[in-house]
Structure 1
Amino acid sequence: MDWDKLRIFHAVADAGSLTHAGDTLHLSQSAVSRQIRALEESLGTTLFHRHARGLILTEQGELLFDATSSMARKLDGAAARIRDSEEHVLGELKVTTAVGFGTLWLAPRLGKLYAKYPDLKIDLLLEERVLDLPMREADVAIRMKEPTQSDLIRRRLLNIRMRLYATPEYLQQAGVPETLEELTQHRLISQKPDQPQVAAGARLVQQILAQNIASTLTVNNYFGVLQGVLANVGIGVLPDYLTADHERLVRVLPDVDSDEVPVFLAYPEELRQTRRVAAFRDFVLEEIQGYRRMQSEALIS
């Protein structure tokens, strides 16, 4: 089968348009159309339905697109490994994680990684949606649950819990609650239970709201919750990893917390030898070890 025709087919199927594929490939629309017709003739089948809105893959076209997509991912992985040299880590690395963990824990630490690898280009994708690593929507993921997709290398980094925190200034002014019932005298800052977040955090918020809290501030991510707490607006539901970087946070109601939430690092098996992935993995593991040391020292003191 002609590799050049397959490359053109993949671009057309991905773009859904002869014109857009031609722009990507730097070919005229007529040249792209001729190559598609030639491929269909060689296979003895129709690969696209032609519609006014664009091109739609036939069943046979879907089968071929699955095959060319797999080929493209393997070629991308091979190209990434080839670009990585013995001495240098460079190029783009797509990293996905949840908004809270990405903004509050990961992003503030990336300066250390850039100091070591100044030519690295990180594309940080912060969203609660689980991106498809085998389909190369991202290269590396840090997720708040164990990945279920096949062909992934995964490593458990740590366990976290959602807990109640406030500042010393707020507690001095508003008082320290001793029971859940006494939270009704305070303002609760949290995400809404029905917003995208880890299930353990949502359950904790539901438990607290069941106390009929009169005054609340809801924010759609933990960064906003943290800012409200630091501004002395109220008592917030936050992940416990924040205490490593925010010494002003004081835990409220030590017996109240969420179930454990596992945090996993994952990346496709085909990227195992890619130096960019290895550099990021080692950096995260080193930072996690430092975080654990701080936790142990805090418990001892």
Structure 2
Amino acid sequence: MHWDDLKVFLAVARGESLSAAGQRLKIDPATAGRRVQRLEEDLGAALFARSPQGYALTQAGQRLMDHAVRAEQAMAGAEAEISGQAGQLSGQIRLGAPDGVANFLLPQVCAAIVAENPDLEVQIVALPRVFNLSRREADMAVSVSRPTAGRLLVQKISDYRLHLAASDAHLAAHGPVERLEDLRGRRIIGYIPDMIFDKELDYLGEAGVERVSLASNSVAVQLQWIRQGAGVGIVHDFALPSAPGVRRILADQLSLQRSFYLVRHVDDARLERMQRFSTALAEGIRREVARLESVT
């Protein structure tokens, strides 16, 4: 069994196709296919079920995935220890997160960590969904709820607050919003109802809102609509400093609190670089939430 073949196996498993694996590893898809075939011949087992929809892991592939991930972690740890500067992090870490935290918190937090660790590469994958860490779609993820299944390490990072908000232009054009009942006469901005991937994101349900006129699965898009005066919506307090001209409304009548959790695979507990990065990340997010919320 060759390490290069295992790298291709991991890339195909994560991308679910030879072309995705080829792009990630900068090799031809046909080469990726030959590597997978050689690995299957060496092991005497089919690792993927092929279909027009892509490559799905078989039971044998799932078993190999755990071993391949541990081998990958061991190689990354060895490279970091041998080539990295003393006391500094190095290598690549991929971080998954919902787009709210990815847009308004992680850029500055991760930039500060990389500034202190020049050999470190951080990749932020901003997607409005739950990440599958068992398949290593990311090395770790920020979540808005605590996972209850899987071999995962879960650490609460911080609470954060959300409020109804509107732009000064909207309030000037349509008048103030003084009671929750007044929302019935306003255009409401929020999530696409059937794309709310976590119950913790069902903010408007707590305001009694049943119809959303402008909807997106991205909070960044929602905030842009609010900035343009298109309507009223729920905004993270930590996002308000980036949106001049947008203010909280009805703060005394509707105030929401949610939490961020850092989720890692349980095997990462043995990796010193992952431990150090997760500590720096959690501390950075806590500081940034406190700083930005104090501005509003």
TM range (shorter): 0.7 to 0.9
Q: Assess, with a 3 A threshold, how the Cα gap between structure 1 residues 109 and 185 changes in structure 2: closer, same or farther.
A: same
Q: Which of these residues, 12, 23, 41, is aligned with residue 31 of structure 2?
A: 23
Cα displacement string for residues 55-86 of structure 1 (whole angstroms, at most 9, x for unaligned residues): xx9xxx95543332221111111112112233
Offset of 1:221 from its aligned partner?
1.2
Residue of structure 1 equivalent to 2:72: 76
Letter in 1 for 2:190: S
Aligned 8 A contact 2:156 2:261 in 1:
yes
Offset of 1:265 from its aligned partner?
0.7
Letter in 1 for 2:62: D
Q: Assess, with a 3 A threshold, how the Cα gap between structure 1 residues 282 and 108 changes in structure 2: closer, same or farther.
A: closer
Structure-to-structure mapping, 1:196-211, within 5 angstroms: 196-202=196-202, 204-205=204-205, 207-210=207-210
Aligned 8 A contact 2:216 2:222 in 1:
yes
Residue of structure 2 equivalent to 1:240: 237
Q: Assess, with a 3 A threshold, how the Cα gap between structure 1 residues 21 and 195 changes in structure 2: closer, same or farther.
A: closer
Aligned residues, how many? 276
TM-score, scaled relative to structure 2? 0.74
Residue of structure 2 equivalent to 1:257: 254
Letter in 2 for 1:115: A
1:141 and 2:136 correspond:
no
Q: Assess, with a 3 A threshold, how the Cα gap between structure 1 residues 135 and 258 changes in structure 2: closer, same or farther.
A: farther
**Structure 1 segments unaligned to the other structure (5+ residues):** 41-46
Q: Assess, with a 3 A threshold, how the Cα gap between structure 1 residues 233 and 109 changes in structure 2: closer, same or farther.
A: farther
Mapped to 1, the partners of 2:135 and 2:215 lie a distance apart of: 35
TM-score, scaled relative to structure 1? 0.73
Structure-to-structure mapping, 1:1-301, within 5 angstroms: 3=1, 11=9, 23-24=31-32, 32=38, 36=41, 40=44, 47-48=45-46, 62-85=58-81, 86-202=86-202, 204-205=204-205, 207-210=207-210, 216-243=213-240, 245-246=242-243, 248-257=245-254, 260-272=257-269, 273-275=271-273, 278-292=276-290, 295=293
**Structure 2 segments unaligned to the other structure (5+ residues):** 19-27
CA RMSD of aligned residues (A): 4.1
Q: Assess, with a 3 A threshold, how the Cα gap between structure 1 residues 93 and 231 changes in structure 2: closer, same or farther.
A: same
Offset of 1:290 from its aligned partner?
4.2
Q: Assess, with a 3 A threshold, how the Cα gap between structure 1 residues 222 and 53 changes in structure 2: closer, same or farther.
A: closer
Offset of 1:282 from its aligned partner?
0.8
Mapped to 2, the partners of 1:81 and 1:181 lie a distance apart of: 57
Q: Assess, with a 3 A threshold, how the Cα gap between structure 1 residues 289 and 63 changes in structure 2: closer, same or farther.
A: same
Cα displacement string for residues 238-283 of structure 1 (whole angstroms, at most 9, x for unaligned residues): 2233235446432111244365432101212322334255235413
Mapped to 1, the partners of 2:105 and 2:47 lie a distance apart of: 48
Mapped to 2, the partners of 1:158 and 1:28 lie a distance apart of: 42
Q: Which moved more, 1:255-264 or 1:119-128?
A: 255-264
Q: Assess, with a 3 A threshold, how the Cα gap between structure 1 residues 21 and 188 changes in structure 2: closer, same or farther.
A: closer
Q: Assess, with a 3 A threshold, how the Cα gap between structure 1 residues 51 and 76 changes in structure 2: closer, same or farther.
A: closer
Q: Assess, with a 3 A threshold, how the Cα gap between structure 1 residues 129 and 197 changes in structure 2: closer, same or farther.
A: closer
Aligned 8 A contact 2:94 2:125 in 1:
yes
Mapped to 2, the partners of 1:167 and 1:53 lie a distance apart of: 49
Q: Assess, with a 3 A threshold, how the Cα gap between structure 1 residues 154 and 52 changes in structure 2: closer, same or farther.
A: closer
Mapped to 1, the partners of 2:169 and 2:89 lie a distance apart of: 45
Q: Assess, with a 3 A threshold, how the Cα gap between structure 1 residues 162 and 82 changes in structure 2: closer, same or farther.
A: same
Q: Percent identity?
A: 19
Offset of 1:231 from its aligned partner?
1.9
